[in-house]
């Protein structure tokens, strides 16, 4: 392992010189620097593995806007949904040991798992969880900015209604990967965090990787998330998503992720020792379920793959006649992409500290082109035009202006402001309570510790919430008034409906 680590370090040090000698990646430094300016990305780290050697590894830009703290190859970024491949590999180890089978019903390992459809509950398998074909909707507000623990999410899933029969439609689902992580815990007798750390990270020497957010504040060399808020890119606070850890809470560096890539390119071996059987490893990287074109990455419109599918923890497609396994990650101000081209023994990782920085796809295709003899192509410019077509910002501005212009003039709420205050609960028991109170003559709303803000009257009985955290933007809340003049229900934009809870005993109508 020490020899492997030394070779890894030497390869990284040698990469700039190799580029000057006519390496396929010659000019990549300048290309990345220009692409970052075009996409307004504050900081980025990138690495490329070819034939078990790290041929490029470098940090660019700054960890936080307004500082001189440079990104380097050891800077920690959120791995976000690239975490899912670790969860799938962990289950693969348990499959090798006979403690889990891919097609086991989930309830065999999690007897308390329930959905709103008893038949569906018994039908969903471990493989279904890993391939986003459970038939369950995403319901990300169960975990996002939520006080719910992993156990709370598992419990609340019993009120989730399916949108389709199992194994009939693809729909990306983070909660399914939480369940997959809970299967790891049930089958192994240890936490998902400990299993991934002891069975994957430690054998691979990934010492800069955390399975969650605990300890991140002590890392020091950590990138700050950034988000575009009111047309300005600004730093935002890190948010703790450990309640959905197996789906996306890992934090790591490109220095560590090249070890993960080399592991996969060497068919799940490290130092000559197998961590996964060949058959299980091949299963991880085998297409399992077709993804409709409209549900796949917009970048594929330019790459034009013949197939789009999901493996076990990996997206799968073809590109230039090769199988490409990849996964992105996007979570509150951070972006990631990890890719493998097994036939070429080629791997790639990029992290950036800007939410949905789609130059990640441009850099991936640029690197794959370099090693497959493709003619030069400016992927960054092409994808920039796709994601940010000319006139896009102006169209968005006009849309905002039109919405303001269409706002009914001179309307008033049906009731005094204090009459809207109270507790509103989700009738399906899925999202809990939405609380509205009166404070200093204004209505204040709270959906979770993060979603708190002021309600301003919009029109009739609709209010606009301006969340205290500006990165969350605004939301509309529409109240339903009963024939007796009581606020009975509130429909919260992008969340759902909440019914008025009974007033506490001893209190009359507000």
230-251: per-residue pLDDT in tens?
A: 889 999 988 889 999 999 999 9
- 39-48, 74-83, 234-243, 369-378: which range is least confident on average? 234-243
Whether residue 15 is predicted with pLDDT greater than 50 in this model: the reply is no
Residue percentage of the chain with pLDDT more than 70: 94
- Which phi and psi (to 5°) does residue 493 adopt? -50, 130
Indicate whether 21 pLDDT > 60: no
**Using an 8 Å Cβ cutoff, are 252 and 206 in contact?**
yes
Lowest mean pLDDT: which of 104-108, 302-306, 387-391, 476-480? 387-391
**Which pLDDT value is given to residue 22?**
67
- Residue 108 scores a pLDDT above 80: yes
- Judged against a pLDDT cut of 60, whether residue 176 lies above it is answered with yes
For residue 150 the two structure tokens come to 């992993």
pLDDT digits (tens, 9 = 90+) for 401-451: 888 888 888 899 999 999 999 999 988 878 889 999 999 999 999 988 888
Rounded CA-CA distance 36/19 in Å is 20
Q: Which residues contact 120 (CB under 8 A, 6 or more apart)?
A: 134, 135, 136, 162, 165, 166
Mean pLDDT of 337-349: 98
pLDDT for 231: 82
Confidence band of 145 (pLDDT split at 50, 70, 90): confident
5 has a pLDDT exceeding 50:
no
| This prediction's pTM | 0.91
In the predicted model, is pLDDT for residue 204 greater than 70?
yes
Q: What is the pLDDT of residue 504?
A: 65
Residue 11 has pLDDT above 50, yes or no: no
Closest CA to 498 of 448, 438, 441: 448
pLDDT exceeds cutoff 70 at 14: no
DSSP 222: B
Contacts of 269-273 with CB under 8 Å at 24 or more apart are 270/1, 270/4, 270/203, 270/204, 270/205, 271/1, 271/4, 273/203
């Amino acid at each position: 392992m020490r020899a492997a680590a030394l070779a890894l370090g030497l390869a990284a040090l040698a990469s700039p010189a190799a580029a000057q000698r006519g390496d396929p990646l010659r000019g990549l430094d300048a290309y990345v620097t220009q692409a970052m300016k075009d996409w307004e990305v504050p900081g980025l780290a990138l690495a490329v593995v070819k034939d078990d050697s790290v041929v490029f590894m470098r940090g660019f830009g700054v960890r936080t806007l307004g500082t001189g703290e440079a990104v380097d190859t050891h800077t920690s970024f959120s791995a976000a949904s690239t975490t899912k491949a670790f969860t799938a590999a962990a289950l693969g180890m348990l499959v090798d040991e006979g403690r889990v089978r891919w097609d086991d019903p989930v309830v065999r390992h999690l007897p308390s798992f329930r959905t709103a459809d008893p038949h569906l509950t018994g039908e969903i398998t471990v493989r279904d969880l890993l391939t986003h074909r459970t038939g369950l909707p995403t319901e990300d507000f169960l975990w996002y900015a939520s006080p719910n623990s992993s156990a709370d999410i598992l419990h609340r899933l019993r009120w989730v209604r399916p949108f389709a029969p199992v194994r009939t439609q693809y729909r990306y689902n983070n909660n399914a990967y939480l369940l997959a992580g809970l299967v790891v815990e049930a089958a192994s007798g240890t936490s998902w965090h400990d299993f991934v750390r002891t069975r994957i990270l430690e054998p691979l020497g990934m010492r800069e990787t955390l399975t969650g957010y605990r300890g991140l504040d002590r890392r020091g060399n950590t990138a700050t998330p950034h988000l575009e808020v009111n047309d300005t890119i600004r730093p935002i606070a890190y948010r703790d998503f450990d309640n959905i850890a197996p789906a996306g809470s890992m934090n790591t560096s490109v220095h560590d992720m090249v070890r993960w890539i080399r592991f996969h390119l060497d068919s799940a071996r490290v130092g000559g020792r197998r961590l996964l059987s060949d058959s299980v490893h091949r299963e991880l990287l085998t297409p399992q379920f077709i993804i409709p074109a409209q549900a796949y990455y917009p970048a594929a419109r330019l790459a034009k793959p013949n197939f789009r599918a999901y493996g076990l923890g990996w997206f799968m497609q073809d590109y230039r006649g090769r199988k490409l396994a990849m996964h992105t990650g996007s979570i509150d101000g951070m972006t990631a992409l990890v890719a493998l081209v097994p036939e070429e023994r080629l791997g790639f990782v990029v992290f950036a500290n800007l939410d949905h920085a789609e130059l990640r796809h441009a850099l991936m295709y640029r690197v794959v082109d370099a090693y497959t003899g493709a003619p030069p192509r400016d992927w960054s410019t092409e994808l920039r035009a796709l994601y940010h077509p000319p006139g896009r910002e102006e169209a968005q501005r006009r849309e905002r202006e039109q919405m303001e212009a269409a706002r009914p003039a001179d309307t008033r709420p049906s009731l005094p402001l204090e009459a809207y205050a109270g507790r509103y609960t989700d009738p399906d028991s899925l999202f809990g309570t939405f609380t509205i109170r009166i404070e200093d003559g204004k209505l204040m709303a709270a959906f979770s510790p993060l979603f708190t803000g002021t309600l301003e009257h919009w029109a009739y009985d609709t209010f606009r919430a301006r969340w205290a955290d500006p990165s969350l933007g605004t939301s509309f809340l529409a109240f339903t008034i009963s024939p007796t003049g009581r606020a009975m229900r509130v429909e919260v934009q992008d969340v759902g409906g909440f019914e008025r809870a009974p007033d506490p005993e001893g209190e009359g109508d507000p």
